[in-house]
Copies of this chain bind each other. A is one copy, B any other.
Amino acid sequence: MEAERDPRALTRRSMLFAAGAASLATVLRPGITLAQANDPLPSWNDGAAKRAIIDLVVATTTHGSPNFVAEGERIATFDQDGTTWVEHDPVYSEVLFSLDRVVELAHEHPEWKTSEPFDAVIGGNKSAIASFAKAQWEKIIVATHTGVSVSDFNSAVKAWITSAKDRRWQRPYTDLIYLPMLEAMSYLRANGYRTYIVTGGTQAFVRAYAEKAYGIPPQDIIGTAVGTQFNGANGRMTLAPKLVLNNNFSGKAEDIYLFTGRAPKIAFGNTEGDAAMLEYTQAGGGASAMLLVLHDDAAREFAYGPAEGLPDSKIGAFSQALYDKAKASGWQLISMKDDWKRIFSWQ
């Protein structure tokens, strides 16, 4: 019964192999210590969520297991906002980047001072910003995310992500990445999984920091994507104002197929925008694990639903319908309060 072997032994060997292959850096991510060599998920309390992850890894990596998956086919996908980092402080980090970027670019666009929605952003009119409609956000995204070379955009994001601070903890946004998710990524990679970010945020934004923050290289970032225009005469690749991939809802499943050609074995999300990704994972057959983060910890992070009587939310809502679907489908809830011993690496 090889499938019943001690999962920690498996991890220990895999991690030693990974270390031997000189990729220690991918195992020991920020905040992760050698304690992982004994417990692959030390920031997780023992419980159904932690067990679901370990069971999936054991089932898919144990030779002779009926659910064994060849190494090149081991795919793990992670939504980002609300799944791998905070999305409520007070809103998605990329939105905050966009607003800061409007202010930064304002001197190149004197006309913005008197044209909406830019005037409200430059003037710091929070109530106007809070009531922006979709068309206004689109103007801001086009102004801040397109018409710029991919390398210049990358530099702008890198500069912002290393200097901007969040409102509540006054820390860089990459400090708001959940330590248990970094552990899950490292554990999966140490067991031959390829870990992807699959985000409604833009691919170009996440690519700028994901390698350092998550140990995930640019080719493993699947996101909402604007088009690019390559100019052979000067070799420049420029972000263009055309939506190519809308990476949300069914788009997440479709883009995972576009990038990988197969369904994930394990997927992590936290909203209805992730449901199709979890359905695709489950439909792939064999062993699979589908997990949803429930934000039920106002003291250490935030609490919002409206599922199960948690406060309602405009950002990252977890509806009762999604909760019921998860229960009916055998998807695993991750309670931040109960399942996570620690939430951030610096806590």
For A232, the closest partner residue in chain B by CB is: B279
Contact residue among B218, B228, B232, B261 (Cβ-Cβ distance under 8 Å from A221):
B261
A232 partner residues in chain B, CB cutoff 8 A: 250, 253, 275-276, 279-280
Q: Which of A202-236 contact B (CB under 8 A)?
A: 203, 207, 217-219, 221, 225, 227-232, 234-236
A236 partner residues in chain B, CB cutoff 8 A: 283
Cα-based distance from A237 to B72 in the complex (angstroms): 21
Task: Establish whether residues B260 and A218, one from each chain, have CB atoms under 8 Å apart when the complex forms.
Answer: yes
Q: 16 A-B contacts, Cβ less than 8 Å apart?
A: A217-B261, A218-B260, A218-B261, A219-B259, A219-B262, A221-B261, A225-B258, A227-B254, A230-B253, A232-B250, A232-B253, A232-B275, A237-B253, A237-B254, A244-B245, A259-B259
A230 partner residues in chain B, CB cutoff 8 A: 250, 253-254, 257, 276, 279-280
Task: Establish whether residues A279 and B150, one from each chain, have CB atoms under 8 Å apart when the complex forms.
Answer: no
A93 at the A/B interface (Cβ < 8 Å)? Answer: no
A150 partner residues in chain B, CB cutoff 8 A: 257
A259 partner residues in chain B, CB cutoff 8 A: 219, 259
Give the shortest distance, in Å, between A270 (CB) and chain B (any CB). 17
A227 partner residues in chain B, CB cutoff 8 A: 254
A186 at the A/B interface (Cβ < 8 Å)? Answer: no
A282 at the A/B interface (Cβ < 8 Å)? Answer: yes
A72 partner residues in chain B, CB cutoff 8 A: 217
A219 partner residues in chain B, CB cutoff 8 A: 259-262
A218 partner residues in chain B, CB cutoff 8 A: 260-262
A228 partner residues in chain B, CB cutoff 8 A: 254, 257-258
Cα-based distance from A236 to B254 in the complex (angstroms): 10
Cα-based distance from A203 to B250 in the complex (angstroms): 20
For A240, the closest partner residue in chain B by CB is: B254
A229 partner residues in chain B, CB cutoff 8 A: 250, 254
Minimum-distance CB pairs A-B, first 10:
A235-B283, A218-B261, A230-B253, A232-B279, A230-B250, A228-B254, A219-B260, A230-B254, A232-B276, A207-B261
Cα-based distance from A283 to B237 in the complex (angstroms): 10
Task: Establish whether residues A235 and B276, one from each chain, have CB atoms under 8 Å apart when the complex forms.
Answer: no
